[in-house]
Amino acid sequence: MGGLVSTLQHNVTPAMAVAIAIPLGAGTIVGAAQAKATIEWYPTLDKPSWTPPAPLFGNLWSIFYAVMGYASYLVWQHGGIAAQRPALTLYGLQLGFNLAWPVVFFIKKKLWAAQFVNLGTLAFAAATARAFYRVEPRAGKLLIPYLVWLAFANALNYSIAKKNPGADLPASVREDNYRDPSKKNPGERGYGPGGSTTMASAYAQPARAQRLSMRPVPSNLRSQPQLGQRLPLLRRTCIATASAHTSSRVLSVRCL
């Protein structure tokens, strides 16, 4: 990597600059388009504990785009596009899949579709690295860190997609679903006590408090429960409670 930095500092040619600018510029444009979703929507998703900090993503992708651009330049030097069409075509395909992923994941919010795009990116990137290595070994080796990162990104995408069904729904709808007594979400991890108004605030609640939630008394109860009566609702222990202003009418059920 040190040799690459030295080369970029002292031997930059117009062709090399163009080769680096193509993926770097395209990635910057797509990154700007997804910025709003990155700030407003992505933090509301339930993510695994091994998710890297958000700022790390942008920095790493800038490096990977510059490196893959330089690798394509090394291959291009061996006869240009006409001589290296197969390898450079694979390069273009993997770059296209790469740029499509944030559009599908962040802008369209289709997490499982993004997973398939990510797999396509990894497959074409591996084929590109192999084709590059046959033409210029240095170019193929430069793509190895990129392949490792793509494998990690696939695992992360899969985990987030599995944890967030319905992530493409508007935030208000998803929060309504979280509050719906027929859903499993209230009282579970990621949802705050007492009907928290936002999912983001729910994540900040202590784990013990998250085990509590307030639910309206289900309409299918055959009789009015008594205060303090323990109700076997939704596989939990639920206790009928009243407000501070009443002494007889049950207004809600607290589930532990």
- pLDDT tier for residue 224 given thresholds of 50, 70 and 90: low
Mean pLDDT (whole number) for 162-176 = 73
% of residues, the chain, pLDDT over 90: 54
Query: Which of 74-78, 89-93, 112-116, 195-199 has the least mean pLDDT?
Result: 195-199
What does the pLDDT read at residue 198?
46
Whether CATH 3.40.50.300 fits 2-163: no
Asked if residue 191 has pLDDT above 70, the reply is no
- pLDDT tier for residue 202 given thresholds of 50, 70 and 90: very low
What does the pLDDT read at residue 5?
58
3-class state of residue 83 by DSSP: helix
Asked if residue 21 has pLDDT above 60, the reply is yes
Phi, psi (degrees; rounded to nearest 5) at 64 = -65, -40
Mean pLDDT (whole number) for 158-168 = 90
What is the rounded distance in angstroms from the CA atom of residue 88 to the CA atom of residue 94?
Answer: 10
Domain ranges of the chain: 2-163, 169-210, 216-256
Mean pLDDT (whole number) for 213-242 = 49
Asked if residue 18 has pLDDT above 70, the reply is yes
Asked if residue 197 has pLDDT above 80, the reply is no
Mean pLDDT (whole number) for 131-138 = 96
Phi, psi (degrees; rounded to nearest 5) at 183 = -95, 165
What is the average pLDDT value for the chain, to the nearest integer? Answer: 77
| DSSP character at residue 255 | E
| Contact of 232 with 238, CB cutoff 8 Å | yes
- pLDDT tier for residue 91 given thresholds of 50, 70 and 90: very high
CA Rg value for the chain: 26
Angle CA 40–200–235, to nearest 5: 135
Distances, alpha carbon 166 to alpha carbons 171, 175, 202, in Å = 10, 11, 18
**20-29, 36-45, 202-211, 240-249 — most confident range:** 20-29
Asked if residue 210 has pLDDT above 70, the reply is no
